[in-house]
Structure 1
């Protein structure tokens, strides 16, 4: 199939576990939702593979997630894997088998955002070019898939220079397309005296350290986001909630933007190397300076005009940084995001990759593949 005047026909592969809708389960879901809508706004036809219940406005059509229940005999076998593993495997095996049959006649390009190994392993049989965005550090399953496929059938880009470098021992050629956000959806806020932390409430995101830093600096802290680890929330967050540490729940995007924009500083406390740092870009777009642990891709976004970077785990430095960041000009903070984190630049970059792959009969660069 070739691209016509009406634009490209694009299949976006997301998570089979989470619907692409607000409030988002995580940054990947938010990323795919915004990308899908932006591509449609440019006149392209988007088909989405994601969990049931996804926003119908995010795509023109959907590739259904198929479920599988093993027989009682199979489930009793000693080789039976956890049911979630089996559900993931079946969902991606089915969609990749379907795409290998219909892809050449239905789609110009497949854009893989899933974290599953099968889209990469089966890319060589598709008959249609694939672009894979690497949203995470290397995982054993994806490394295994690349060992099998040798990188054939897909070109790879990462969401930051840090993440690209982390994959180069497996994939020699990794481009960089930084995540972009819809700046209109994260308008400049008035600011205030309080601090804010937002994201998934899991141990590796480190919200408990934000609580400690806020207490040290003597400012009220607002928390928002999905409780992805109930035990962590119950043991490490809930006991500290009071009038100075408030949890607002899992807010939709508009409500979250209002909350972030009403605060003086956003605290970003990862206990792992963030591949990009979407919450950083979102906070800056609201004019809210960021104090963040210097990990992963975050230093590629934060500079002295929009925030402060501190040593990972250093609560005293975060508290001091919050006082410094609160004095920054909010117009300068937003200007940083406008210059480097807008969705327009991201979509332009992805469309460049799409057209280049479509114009390359052998999907050129993919044959550089794995190391």
Structure 2
């Protein structure tokens, strides 16, 4: 098949550090090429996706000029004989394609704007527009409006080394952006109350609200002994960090759409302890690959039960549900279905 993939051009594909969607698209491209498909990526000009690249940019503050410029670019897809156009970026960037029968897939990695979904469904040619969601939690917000398929995000299992055993004093890990809704301060509280070491990895967003959160609720507890902060990590550092952890904490205080870092942890054999928010209970099987908790007290209690979980089971579930090969096969099946409808 001839497939066009589109992502917003803010971060190259693959990303060097942070960039969940860009990493998902990169592994998807690799798998689709292995399957023999012809893939073209529309993305940041500095991308190195391993397929044909059509680079484009947008302004820091996306506006009407960007909309017009990008739709001029994407409208040309009508004349390039693509079997399917699949965007992980703004749906508005393929607005010019909506009235035509060109098969289109829009993938949601974040909660959808329902008014935009309704508008797109209304103007799209019949049986030409389809949606995917990274979790049932997200799919449920679209299913009453359009055709949506849940396809979980994935990791390349070859990038993550399974570690069957960890040291008795192995630390807890928090891996993600340092901001309130990710629960960094909660992770610190859990480590202190369970007398566990905690390694915090991730970037601090530049916005003042996040800087203040770090300075007031995170930095005062960092002693680089029990509570360590190591900054952003690349893929190889992430693999080592997760593989040597007794568990990864996911104390999110918002409805996490998927949380690819959970799949990365499971691929290393590391169980996940998270709050029952968003897609967390879809990724983590309570009592098997981790624990899904309702509050901080529950999370503190289950930290002491980590040794009852099977690291082999964590890896097995990652391979069965969250591997790049599984994800790509599901997208391929969808491509064939929409291109023949």
User: Same fold by TM (over 0.5)?
Assistant: yes
1:352 paired residue number: 333
Structure 2 gaps of 5+ residues are none
State the shift of 1:41 in Å: 2.3
Aligned counterpart for 1:132 among listed residues 106, 109, 112: 106
Q: Which residue of 1 is the match for residue 76 of structure 2? A: 101
Identify the residue that residue 60 of structure 1 maps to in structure 2. Answer: 51
CA distance in 1, matches of 2:267, 2:336: 30
* 8 Å CA contact retained: 1:100, 1:126: no
May I ask how many residue pairs the two structures share in their alignment? Answer: 331
How far has the Cα of 1:148 moved from its partner? 5.5
Distance 1:195 1:239 in 2: 19
- Indicate whether 1:252 and 2:245 are aligned: no
Provide the alpha-carbon RMSD of the alignment: 2.3
- Residue correspondence of structure 1 range 1-371 to structure 2 within 5 A: 8-54=1-47, 56=48, 58-67=49-58, 84-86=61-63, 89-114=64-89, 116-119=90-93, 121-125=95-99, 128-139=102-113, 142-143=116-117, 145-146=119-120, 149=123, 153-169=128-144, 171-189=145-163, 190-192=165-167, 193-229=170-206, 230-231=210-211, 232-242=213-223, 243-303=225-285, 304-311=287-294, 314-360=295-341
Gaps of 5+ in 1: 1-7, 69-82, 361-371
Q: 1:105 to 1:234 in 2, by over 3 A?
A: same
1: CA distance between counterparts of 2:288 and 2:272?
Answer: 10
Any idea what the Cα deviations from partners look like across 1:218-274, whole Å, max 9, x if unmatched? 111111122224513333322321121112221111210111000101101211111
Change (3 A) 1:59 1:126: farther
- Alignment check: 8 A CA contact 2:100 2:125 kept: no
The structural deviation recorded for 1:104 is 3.2
Give the 3 Å change call, closer, same or farther, for CA 133–290 of structure 1 in structure 2. same
- Give, in angstroms, the shift of residue 27 of structure 1: 1.8
SS at match of 1:227: coil
User: Offset of 1:147 from its aligned partner?
Assistant: 6.5
SS at match of 1:184: helix
Aligned-pair CA distance for 1:51: 2.3
